[in-house]
Structure 1
Amino acid sequence: MNIMITGATSGIGQALALAYAKAGHNVIACGRSQQKLDALAERQGNILTLCFDLTQFDSYPPLPNSMGKLDLLILNAGDCEYIDDAINFDAKLFERVININLISIGYALDAWLKSVQCGGRLVLISSSAQLLALPRAEAYGASKAALSYLAQTLSIDLAKDGIEVSCVHPGFVDTPLTSRNTFAMPMIVSSEQAAQKIIQGIAKGKRDISFPGVFIFLMKCLSWLPFSLWRRLAIRMN
């Protein structure tokens, strides 16, 4: 298969790139650090690299001529910053998170979706955070909730083009991003474990790939509570 992965220099994206390349697939790994991309390509053959800033619309490169149509487009790049003081809302922080987690997805779809062949698949990496309003997550949670909605609408509209859409909702994954968190992260999994769950879900044709199962079940149970009750619980957590 021909596979393109954004955010491939670390975390889930890197684990996916290495796993797919090791399995013999042709991988295009995208990121902002040429040094990290070069190191990734040295670890495993059949990885091509593209270095650019996903948040800059005019910087998107075309697919390499040698690659041909894509079987799999995985839009994984993202970031997380928290709103620590809601009354003094940080608009620039909000803009940064929305730009990388959501607006850049639109840029990527504009640039590459037409390169996904009929029978191929688009994969968007969202988050289990979209299930529940969480303290300090005004920017991150909103971006991921929007991304999950986008995946569902694309699944409807791309059906006529023969392109399937999967949306991934991980719990906590051990990545450089989550290493900045200062709170407990129950049932955290490694990037490699997350990559295997995603690869397995894609192979099974799942539209919703959520893991770990127990954590997702608990999040869904909390999301079914009346918001007034969940709000009281969340205020105590904050």
Structure 2
Amino acid sequence: MNHVVITGATSGIGWQLARDYAQQGWRVTACGRNQEALHQLEQFSPQIKSLQCDLTQRQQVIDSFSHIDPKPNLWIFNAGDCEYLDEGIVDSPLIERVFSINFLGLTYCLEAAQPHFYAGVQVGVVGSIASELALPRAGAYGASKAAVSYLVRSLKLDWQPKGIRVSLIFPGFVKTPLTDKNDFDMPMMISVEQASQSIRVGLAKGKETIYFPRRFTSLLRVIALLPYRLQQGLINKLMGSNK
């Protein structure tokens, strides 16, 4: 039986992925901190087993992942959080909080998961299109996702000869409890069902990079190729006025 481990499974994209993979007949290990949400996932399908874990606590992650059995053939590292800087004011505690989840939490997961890796295993890491160019107020979030992108791309060079397949996932705006808190325009937003579909199809095809929604992420990738002074004007027009 196919077995997938999904971090950040208690809400948003991770929640939808867990349900969709279970409906496809996969065995799902759903990881997260919210015990009630994990219980609801287990009630949704007997294919889902929960693993309560705070991904910002290294030893807790290592101990929890050591009990995962049988060895998964797919890992989706999806857990993350987002906080925005206030009008460009540097807030180091905020930046530390974001990095502790988005970047350091990922490193704890990868470290804990690597004993389970074998030739043919597939690893999907959810980054963000925000890592590809500068966006207003996104200094903490975008920087953390840029660090994720570099780490994964570097690891891929070392893992490829070992037969470990790696996919880096670049979502645009997806309607989740996280984006519900945003107070600015979010163009071309898609649903979690659409996001899950894009991720599952991309992983099934073995894509090394998965961008969605295609129109929005393609536009930002083109803008990222332009000189910085042109990028700024185009991004301001695309994103609208920030409150």
Other-structure match for 2:74: 72
Identity %: 47
1:136-161 CA distance string (max 9 Å, x none):
11100001111111121121110122
Greater shift, 12-21 or 111-120, is seen at 111-120
TM-score, normalising length: structure 2: 0.93
Amino acid at match of 1:23: Q
Change (3 A) 1:234 1:194: closer
Other-structure match for 1:108: 109
Aligned-residue offset at 1:195:
0.5
Q: Is the 8 A contact 1:73 1:116 kept in 2?
A: no
Amino acid at match of 2:168: C
Q: How many residues align?
A: 236
Q: Is the 8 A contact 2:66 2:112 kept in 1?
A: no
- Matched residues in 2 for 1:161 and 1:63: separation? 21
- Matched residues in 2 for 1:174 and 1:86: separation? 25
Aligned-residue offset at 1:46:
1.1
1:156-211 CA distance string (max 9 Å, x none):
11012210100000111010000001111111111111001000000100010001
Greater shift, 90-99 or 225-234, is seen at 225-234
Other-structure match for 2:150: 149
Cα RMSD of the aligned pairs, angstroms, is 1.5
TM-score, normalising length: structure 1: 0.95
Pair 1:211-2:215 in alignment: no
1:1-238 aligned at under 5 Å gives the runs 1-60=2-61, 61-64=64-67, 67-87=69-89, 89-232=90-233
Unaligned runs of 5+ in 1: none
Unaligned runs of 5+ in 2: none
